[in-house]
């Protein structure tokens, strides 16, 4: 959910600053872009060099660098951010935030921000419980900020009680859950198939096709970015899933893909069948490698189970089922037949006659035709952009 998001991590003076390094690392591993803004007191607890190294960005501690003459524009920083996380948030800085005081770059960034702000307080238990602190927290909440509640435990003073900053993992998951809550596919379960299938002839050879799986992988990534719980069933491919939240299952044959899909499909709200499943397989698979003794050699083939048709027959109301049609002739006519015959909500048509479309390439050119005969043709785009177009159409069918 945080991949590609711009996050400002504000750090105030507190022994809990050491946890900020761990939080920075978690955000970077999740694919976020992180810039750190520190108060001067925070630099006494942890060095800017550590956080600059972890975030791969300069650390901001003042408006103006007298050595270089560089001015750090707090307005640009605030507008850059998708989210601002203050961890640790000291009682002093929260009081400034609550009352509009602005005497350092962090408070200036806060007052310039237009994005969601999350504060993770850290202080001794008596400071946390003091009526002025609690009043400031109520003010901050009334301004639309979110408070990540401190934990109960041993504090720097030696006392035990509430006021300990939440652990980096807790802050990370809180931020993730908050960002997920507004996503259009939050709470939906999606199934995507991708890649080819390989149908064995003997222990060495197989019948397959040139599908790379790139389109299916791009769709899985985009569905997950929009909040869905995604299950990706893929045939043999060298591609890797960059998003660890996608549940990947690897299969080889059409029968293996059928088994996985039938297991997952009944619980899915969205199913996108972009895999290039083999239509035929050898009737008999040789136990040993076939020798090239004959000038001619025949293989008897039998049909594989049509997975998409099988799903179309069992589809329940409310489930969205999407198919693909890669054609070389009579493209629209063939796609319409497949759309109706297989009980699809819409079909994604592409043609090998279009330059830059089809297998292996990083681009695709598609036409989407839905069950209401609405048709939309898109320009040649990257497969990541095509995935966005397909997911936009899915959203129109989600109830």
Q: What is the pLDDT of residue 181?
A: 66
Task: Dig out the tokens for 304 from the structure.
Answer: 């594989």
**Catalytic amino acids?**
209
**Look-up: residue for tokens 């830059």?**
356
Cα(187)–Cα(202) distance, integer angstroms: 44
Task: Dig out the tokens for 59 from the structure.
Answer: 């650390």
Cα(225)–Cα(22) distance, integer angstroms: 24
Question: Given pLDDT bands bounded at 50, 70 and 90, which one contains residue 77?
Answer: very high
Domain ranges of the chain: 6-181, 189-286+297-397
Q: What is the pLDDT of residue 227?
A: 85
Closest by Cα among 342, 345, 350 to 305: 342
What mean pLDDT do residues 91-118 have?
A: 95
Across the chain, mean pLDDT equals: 92
Q: What is the pLDDT of residue 358?
A: 64
Q: What is the pLDDT of residue 282?
A: 96
Higher per-residue pLDDT: 163 or 310:
310
Cα(296)–Cα(288) distance, integer angstroms: 19
What mean pLDDT do residues 237-241 have?
A: 91
Cα(180)–Cα(164) distance, integer angstroms: 26
Beta-ladder partners of 190: 230, 270
Residue 359 in this model has a pLDDT that exceeds 80: no
Q: Could you write out the three-class secondary structure of the chain?
A: CCCCCEEEEEECCCCCHHHHHHHHHHHHHCCCEEEEEECCHHHHCCCHHHHHHHHCCCEECCCEECCCCEECCHHHHHHHCCEEEEEEECHHHHHHHHHCCCCCHHHHHHHHCCCCEEEEECCCHHHHHCHHHHHHHHHHHHCCCEECCCEEEECCCCCEEEEECCCHHHHHHHHHHHHHHCCCCCCCEEEEEECECCEECCCCCEECCCCCCHHHHHHHHHHHHCCCEEEEEECCCCCCCCCCCCEEEECCCHHHHHHHHHHHHHHCCEEEECCECCCEEECCCCCCCCCCCCCCCCCCEEECCCHHHHHHHHCCCCCEEEEEEEECCCHHHHHHHHHHHCCCCEEEEEECCCCCCCCCCCEECCEEEECCCCEEECCCEEHHHHHHHHHHHHHHHCC
At the top level of CATH, the class of 189-286+297-397 is alpha beta
Cα(133)–Cα(25) distance, integer angstroms: 30
**For the whole model, what pTM was predicted?**
0.67
Same fold yes or no, 6-181 and 189-286+297-397: yes
Q: What contacts 299, CB < 8 A, 6 or more positions away?
A: 201, 282
Cβ atoms of 15 and 96 closer than 8 Å: no
Of 58-67, 179-188, 312-321, where does the model show the most confidence? 312-321
Residue 354 in this model has a pLDDT that exceeds 80: no
Q: What is the pLDDT of residue 154?
A: 76
- Percent of the chain whose pLDDT exceeds 70: 97
- Percent of the chain whose pLDDT exceeds 90: 76
Q: What is the pLDDT of residue 296?
A: 85
Q: What is the pLDDT of residue 125?
A: 87
Task: Dig out the tokens for 188 from the structure.
Answer: 């939906």
Cα-Cα-Cα-Cα dihedral sign, residues 321, 322, 328, 334: positive
Cα(232)–Cα(222) distance, integer angstroms: 12
Q: What is the pLDDT of residue 203?
A: 95
Q: What is the pLDDT of residue 360?
A: 65
Higher per-residue pLDDT: 260 or 156:
260
User: Model confidence over 134-150: pLDDT tens digits?
Assistant: 999 999 999 999 999 89
User: Model confidence over 108-132: pLDDT tens digits?
Assistant: 999 999 999 999 999 988 899 999 9
Look at phi and psi of residue 331 and say left if phi exceeds 0, alpha if psi is from -120 to 50, else beta: alpha
CA 217 to centroid of chain Cα atoms: 12
| Mode of pairing for the β-strands spanning 83-89 and 70-71 | unpaired
Cα→Cα distances 32→4, 26, 49, 303, Å: 5, 9, 19, 46
Residue 277 in this model has a pLDDT that exceeds 70: yes
For domain 6-181, the CATH architecture is 3-Layer(aba) Sandwich (3.40)
* Phi and psi angles of residue 206, each rounded to the nearest 5 degrees, phi first: -155, 165
What mean pLDDT do residues 204-219 have?
A: 95
């Amino acid at each position: 959910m945080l991949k590609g998001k711009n996050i400002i991590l504000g750090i105030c003076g507190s022994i809990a600053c050491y946890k900020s390094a761990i939080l920075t690392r978690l955000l970077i591993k999740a694919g976020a872009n992180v810039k750190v803004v520190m108060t001067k007191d925070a630099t006494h607890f942890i060095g800017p060099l550590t956080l600059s190294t972890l975030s791969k960005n300069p650390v901001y501690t003042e408006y103006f660098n007298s050595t270089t003459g560089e001015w750090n524009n707090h307005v640009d920083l605030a507008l850059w951010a998708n989210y601002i996380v203050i961890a640790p948030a000291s009682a002093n800085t929260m009081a400034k935030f609550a009352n509009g005081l602005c005497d350092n770059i962090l408070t200036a960034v806060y007052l310039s921000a237009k994005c969601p702000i999350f504060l993770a307080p850290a202080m001794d238990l008596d400071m946390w419980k003091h009526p002025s602190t609690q009043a400031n927290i109520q003010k901050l909440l009334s301004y639309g900020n979110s408070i990540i509640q401190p934990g109960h435990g041993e504090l720097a003073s030696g006392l035990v009680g509430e006021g300990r900053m939440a652990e980096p993992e807790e802050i990370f998951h809180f931020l993730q859950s908050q960002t997920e809550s507004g996503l259009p596919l939050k709470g939906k379960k999606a199934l995507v198939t991708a890649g080819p299938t390989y149908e064995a002839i003997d222990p060495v050879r197989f019948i397959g096709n040139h599908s790379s799986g790139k389109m299916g992988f791009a769709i899985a990534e985009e569905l997950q970015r929009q909040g869905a719980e995604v299950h990706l069933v893929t045939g043999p491919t060298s591609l890797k899933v960059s998003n660890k939240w996608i549940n990947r299952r690897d299969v080889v044959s059409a029968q293996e893909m059928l088994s996985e899909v039938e297991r997952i499909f009944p619980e899915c709200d969205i199913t996108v069948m972009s895999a290039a499943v083999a239509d035929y397989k050898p009737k008999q698979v040789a136990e040993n490698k076939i020798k090239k003794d004959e000038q001619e050699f025949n293989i008897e083939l039998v049909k594989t189970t049509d997975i998409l048709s099988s799903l179309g027959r069992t589809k329940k109301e409310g489930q969205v089922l999407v198919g693909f049609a890669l054609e070389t002739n009579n493209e629209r006519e063939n796609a319409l037949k497949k759309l109706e015959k297989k009980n699809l909500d819409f079909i994604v048509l592409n043609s090998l006659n279009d330059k830059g479309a089809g297998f292996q390439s990083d681009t695709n050119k598609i036409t989407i035709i839905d069950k209401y005969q609405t048709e939309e043709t898109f320009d040649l785009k990257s497969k990541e952009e095509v995935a966005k177009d397909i997911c936009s159409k899915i959203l129109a069918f989600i109830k």
